Amino acid sequence: MNFGLVGMDDQPDTPPRPDGGTSALHTPPRDILNEETLKPELLAENAPGLETLVKLLNQPALARVYVYVCYWGPVSPPEVMDDLDLSKSTAYDYVDRLVDLGLVERDDSIRPQQLTAEPVILVEPYTPIIITPTVLHAFALQEVDEDVEYFLDRYGIGKLVAALRGAGLHHAGNMTQRMVASEIDVRDTEAMMIIYALVPALAVGREQDPYFEYLFLDVHDQMDLPDLDVQETSPAQPDDVE
Amino acid sequence: MNRESLLSGGKEVIVDANIFIAIGDPSNTKFTQFRSVVQTAGVVLKLPRRVIGEIGGQDTHRVQAALYEGWAEIIDTPNPTDGDAVAASDIARRTIANTTGQPEHEVEKTDTILAGLAIQYVRDRSTSGVIVLTDDKPAKEGIQNAVTAQGYTGTIEVYGLADMIGDEPGGSMRLI
């Protein structure tokens, strides 16, 4: 059980990839692979899950709508439009695509229709790779936060996950910002920037993500973050920008 | 307490790079609040070159906005060879290692030098006092401990961004 230390462990022989992931040369053990887990039937069952996650990770705007529905649902399409500042056609298009992918449930029996989404999780323990709603939220923030966009452009999602874990450790008092910078190999000021930029993903994830502890098993209840009354608070930003 | 008064009184204000990153772009409310506190107090923040480190991306603009507007300046600082400064940095290192649960050799040197610099600054420039601003809690604790242990409690004060502009209300943050 080492999935918490994404990209932060010493990699003895293989240098880290520029995107912060660990190299595939780090041969994973084969003990989880057996006749049972390799049954075509089982593989076929898991494949759509992987496919939809890959789709989300290729479309941050779609990931953003998914995370919104997952955290704040049940919500109606007009709420998606208003809270995420999307045009009507874009909002309906994203919702349709998420429904088609099986990520969002649409209840047409009431008016306005209600959308809900189950949280998704993918853990690949040996590499390690972990995708949770908090990770998807961090990734989706690039749609509204240029610091996250900059970081992803420069370093990719592997390092964003590492930065997310580092930010959690920092806000729990277990690392200074410069320690995070050094561990994930970015400049000091870049680490500071992403640590602040990821606060919304941590603050909301702590309240709403049932899998929050997967990434922050040791520090999930120790983070010093702004308190959010997320149940009642609209996620959109009040008039902060003039 | 009146926040401007924290910075006034002819004290030198040494600031860590994270303060500039935390206040965001000039269009950000926190930026304008912080700038107003600094300008009302009539001080120019001193940002030690070694504390910024290597700069070059989006993060640079943020630091430079304050430099261009003239309420912050980069200062060159001597190596802390002074015995008290080295001792202060050592105390900061031990404190940071303790609070973070990391081994001492894992503590970044840059996180410890503000403690030494503050003490050196008070001595060499014989100012009426030094204020250190940093927004990194473990690093801040390190400086605070070093200042107390070295007997500079009266002349060196350590604050975070929240001491200057108040806590960020959760409701003002864009969540998604």
Of residues A120 and B173, the one with the higher pLDDT is: A120
Mean pLDDT of B39-66: 84
The answer to whether the CB atoms of A173 and B100 lie below 8 A apart is yes
Query: Distance (Å) from the C-alpha of residue A46 to the closest C-alpha of chain B?
Result: 29
ipTM computed for the complex: 0.91
Residue in the structure block whose two tokens are 């030198």: B12
pLDDT at B87 over 80: yes
pLDDT at B164 (0 to 100): 92
SS3 A44: helix
Residue B92 resides in a domain: yes
The reply to whether B29 touches chain A by the CB within 8 Å rule is yes
B153 within domain boundaries: yes
- Separation of alpha carbons A131 and A62, rounded Å: 15
Flag the least confident range among A119-123, B7-11, B33-37, B83-87: B7-11
- Peptide bond connecting A74 to the previous residue in cis, omega within 30 degrees of 0: yes
Asked if B44 and B68 count as a contact pair (C-beta separation under 8 A), the reply is: no
Report the distance separating Cα B49 and Cα B9, nearest Å.
Answer: 25
CB-nearest to A238 from B101, B137, B171 is B171
Pick A177's closest partner by Cβ from B18, B60, B173: B18
- DSSP label of A107: E
Write out the two tokens for A192. 């500071």
Q: Which residue has the higher pLDDT, B19 or A32?
A: B19
State how far the Cα of A172 lies from the Cα of B145, in Å rounded to an integer.
19
Task: With a cut of 60, say whether residue A36 has pLDDT above it.
Answer: yes
pTM value is 0.86
The burial class, CB within 10 Å (0-12 / 13-18 / 19+), for A136 is: buried
Average pLDDT of the residues of chain B: 88
Q: Which pLDDT band, with edges at 50, 70 and 90, does A5 fall under?
A: very low
Q: What is the mean pLDDT of residues B134-139?
A: 95
Q: Is A106 helix (H, G, I), strand (E, B) or coil?
A: strand
Total domain count for chain B?
1
Local structure of residue B71 (DSSP, 8 states) = S
Query: What is the pLDDT, as a whole number, of residue A21?
Result: 54
* Residue A2 pLDDT: 41
In chain B, residues with a C-beta closer than 8 Å to the C-beta of A145 are: 174
pLDDT beyond 60 at A12: no
Q: Is residue B176 part of a domain?
A: no
Contact residues, chain B, for A175 at CB < 8 Å: 100, 102, 138
The bridge status of strand A114-117 relative to strand A122-124 is: unpaired
Residues 35-94 of B with CB under 8 A from A: 52-60, 62-63
Please report, for the domain that includes residue B7, its CATH number: 3.40.50.1010
Residue B59: the pLDDT is 74
Confidence of residue A19 (pLDDT cuts 50, 70, 90): low
Q: How far apart are CA A158 and CA B169, in angstroms?
A: 31
CB contact under 8 A, B17 and A226: no
CB contact under 8 A, B170 and A141: no
DSSP structure string for B97-140 = HHHHT--GGGS-HHHHHHHHHHHHHHHHT--S-EEEE---HHHH
* Count of pairs with CB atoms under 8 A, one residue in A, one in B: 131
DSSP state of A75: B
Q: Per residue in A216-242, pLDDT tens?
A: 999 999 999 988 865 445 555 444 433
- Dmax over CA atoms of chain B, in Å, equals 49
Domain-located, residue B50: yes
**Which residue of chain B comes nearest to A63, CA vs CA?**
B176
pLDDT in tens, A103-122: 999 999 988 999 999 999 98
Pick B61 or A11 by higher pLDDT: B61
Q: Read off the tokens for A44.
A: 């076929």
Minimal Cα–Cα distance from B21 to chain A, Å?
6
d(CA B156, CA B122) in angstroms, rounded, equals 8
pLDDT tier for residue B126 given thresholds of 50, 70 and 90: low
**In a mutagenesis test of the B interface, which of A142, A153, A174, A188 is the best target, namely the one with the most B β-carbons within 10 Å?**
A188
Determine how many CB atoms are found less than 10 A away from the CB of residue A30: 8
Q: Which domain holds residue B93?
A: 3-170
Does residue B175 form part of some domain?
A: no
What is the 3-state secondary structure of chain A?
A: CCCCCCCCCCCCCCCCCCCCCCCCCCCCCCCCCCCCCCCHHHHHHHHHHHHHHHHHHHCHHHHHHHHHHHHHCCECHHHHHHHCCCCHHHHHHHHHHHHHCCCEEEECCCCCCEEEECCCCEEECCCCEEECHHHHHHHHHHHCCHHHHHHHHHHHHHHHHHHHHHHHHHHCCCCCHHHHHHHHCCCHHHHHHHHHHCHHHHHHHHHHCCCHHHHCCCCCCCCCCCCCCCCCCCCCCCCCCC
| Residue B148 maps to a domain | yes
Q: What is the pLDDT of residue A189?
A: 92
DSSP state of A141: G
Contact across the interface for A68 and B176, Cβ inside 8 Å: yes
pLDDT at A20 over 60: no
Give the model's pLDDT for residue A239: 43
| Arithmetic mean of pLDDT over chain A | 85
